[in-house]
A and B are shown apart, each in its own frame.
Chain A
């Protein structure tokens, strides 16, 4: 829209060109690619789930870009946010896992990976990785952390309160607090993502669940709304 006052001065003649000083142009190194990740752990299992939609602005880049990355036989990480940083971060983590394996002659435990991730992320404190991370896994004895859960990414604010209620039994009274089984957890994760896909535009297309038990890592894919 042309603002005439900028071009014409008070006397009606076109204004002379003046150098108005330095003009600031901004380049943002980040982009937001959407996606939601969720991790739930029970007595003897852990699961990490994510949707598979990769978006930017109002467009969809890919309907098949899962955000769970398998690190070891007992650990899976879910990364959402800026896809460029997700890829780089997982590459760095995988390289560090190899280095640890070669120098210590054993695989990293889930707890060790989480501690290492914390130092990697803080190393970029002043130019952060724009990634929401959740690590899910079993410890050395094959146990998960009982009844723990966390949601991250674009629809996290929608999922977290429902999980607080269904897994943490928060804001409820006179309810029998049964420990979480694998079947119930998988059903809950599917239902919760179906609901998130209704209301969050960035969540949809498909849901990928990585289920970690002492047998290893198993994958399940469930279709979601594509609109």
Chain B
């Protein structure tokens, strides 16, 4: 007999879990606890179109409220061989949304028999985000090169999008866009464009508390994709003068139980390692 509990998703809203979430939150608050907050990336992400393609940039700090949770996270996600996406907002939402999109895009391009279009990725993303009415808190910058040339789109959590030659998103967007507005020109050369994106992300790193650590860049042209992880490190960690290592015996041992394991040799094999 057919399993009728799995339904194919119809268009429109899917709020299956809202009642369950409300009950969970009520139960927790009765006991005095609060539901865990979604960790936001508190980010600076930027993208621009230059003469030969698209450059995407991002900082690498992930925050949990106002504590740094990850000093070197990756915010530029792969979607297709020539299409990458920067994600700001809730870290899990950005990560899972782009992963889902990546698999959908691969299926779609197998079905069409053509390399994927950036506009197609944008449309799928915005349709999904609108369907969830902003509950998926991810702001994305999608950039890539396809048959129509280099393109750059930004998508907001509620599902609206913009198509522009340069874009910034995240909590450090204001700092980064000021750098772009000052120095952006059409048809810039590669090195000048890389420097500009680096400067914009650096402005976000220094002037926004939610952004920090390193600058990641992704340069996409018709011929190549260059994922430059830690392209620039404008901030160095301070050098600590003391050493804080503990000698063995510093931690108190309360109980000690030794259980000998009697093992028999069953099989012996040697594998040569490839060491260079």
Do A and B interact? Answer: yes
Instruction: Tell me if B244 is interfacial: C-beta within 8 Å of chain A.
Output: yes
Q: Which of A108-166 contact B (CB under 8 A)?
A: 154, 166
Count of B interface residues, CB-CB < 8 Å: 37
A1: chain B residues at CB < 8 Å are 133-134, 158
B255: chain A residues at CB < 8 Å are none
Closest to A57 in B: B209
Closest to B59 in A: A227
A171: chain B residues at CB < 8 Å are 251
Instruction: Tell me if A202 is interfacial: C-beta within 8 Å of chain B.
Output: yes
Q: Are B238 and A199 interface neighbours, CB within 8 A?
A: no
Q: Which of A84-106 contact B (CB under 8 A)?
A: none
A225: chain B residues at CB < 8 Å are 212, 235-238
Q: Are B68 and A172 interface neighbours, CB within 8 A?
A: no
Q: Are B240 and A191 interface neighbours, CB within 8 A?
A: yes
A199-B242 in contact given A173-B249, A194-B237 (Cβ < 8 Å): no
Closest to A195 in B: B240
Instruction: Give the one of A175, A187, A190, A201 with max B CB within 10 A.
Output: A201
Q: Which of B204-224 contact A (CB under 8 A)?
A: 205-213
Q: Are A194 and B209 interface neighbours, CB within 8 A?
A: no
Instruction: Tell me if B63 is interfacial: C-beta within 8 Å of chain A.
Output: yes
B133: chain A residues at CB < 8 Å are 1
A202: chain B residues at CB < 8 Å are 66, 209
State which of B206, B210, B244 has its C-beta within 8 Å of the C-beta of A58.
Answer: B210
Interface size of A as a range: 20 to 34
B246: chain A residues at CB < 8 Å are 172
B67: chain A residues at CB < 8 Å are 199-201
B interface: dominant SS:
loop
State which of A172, A188, A195, A201 has its C-beta within 8 Å of the C-beta of B212.
Answer: A201
Closest to A200 in B: B67
Mask: chain A, 196-221; 1 = CB below 8 Å from B; 0 = not: 01111110000000000000000000
Instruction: Tell me if B276 is interfacial: C-beta within 8 Å of chain A.
Output: no
A187 to B207, CA, bound (A): 29
Q: Are B158 and A227 interface neighbours, CB within 8 A?
A: no
A58 to B173, CA, bound (A): 12
Q: Are B66 and A200 interface neighbours, CB within 8 A?
A: yes
A58-B242 in contact given A201-B63, A201-B66, A225-B235 (Cβ < 8 Å): no
State which of A58, A173, A190, A198 has its C-beta within 8 Å of the C-beta of B68.
Answer: A198
| Least Cβ–Cβ distance between A92 and chain B, in angstroms | 29
Closest to B63 in A: A201
A15: chain B residues at CB < 8 Å are none
A173: chain B residues at CB < 8 Å are 249-252
Instruction: Tell me if A177 is interfacial: C-beta within 8 Å of chain B.
Output: no
Instruction: Tell me if A174 is interfacial: C-beta within 8 Å of chain B.
Output: yes
Q: Are B207 and A200 interface neighbours, CB within 8 A?
A: no
Q: Are B242 and A188 interface neighbours, CB within 8 A?
A: yes
Binding site for B on A (CB under 8 A): 1, 55, 57-60, 154, 166, 171-175, 187-188, 190-191, 194-195, 197-202, 223-227
User: 4 tightest A-B contacts by CB?
Assistant: A227-B212, A194-B238, A201-B209, A191-B240
Beyond A187-B241, A191-B242, A200-B68: 7 further Cβ-contacts under 8 Å?
Answer: A1-B133, A172-B250, A199-B68, A200-B66, A227-B206, A227-B211, A227-B235
CB<8 Å pairs between A and B, sample of 30: A58-B42, A58-B208, A58-B209, A58-B210, A59-B209, A60-B207, A154-B66, A171-B251, A172-B246, A172-B251, A173-B251, A174-B249, A174-B250, A175-B250, A187-B242, A188-B242, A190-B240, A190-B241, A198-B237, A199-B68, A200-B66, A200-B67, A201-B63, A201-B67, A223-B238, A225-B236, A226-B206, A227-B61, A227-B234, A227-B235
